[in-house]
Amino acid sequence: MASKIATARLEARISTDLHSLLKKAADLQGRTMTDFVVSAVQDAAYSAIEQAGIIKLTLDDQECFVQTLLSPPSPNSALKRAFERHSKLVSKSE
Residue-range definition of the domain harbouring residue 82: 16-93
* Residue pLDDT, tens place only, 14-71: 999 999 999 999 999 999 999 999 999 999 999 999 999 999 999 999 999 999 999 9
- 71 DSSP 8-state letter: S
pLDDT of residue 1: 62
Does residue 3 form part of some domain?
no
Q: Is 31 exposed, middle or buried (0-12, 13-18, 19+ CB in 10 A)?
A: middle
Number of structural domains in the chain: 1
Does residue 2 form part of some domain?
no
Alpha helices by DSSP H, the chain: 16-28, 33-52, 59-70, 77-93
Does residue 64 form part of some domain?
yes
The answer to whether residue 3 scores a pLDDT higher than 80 is no
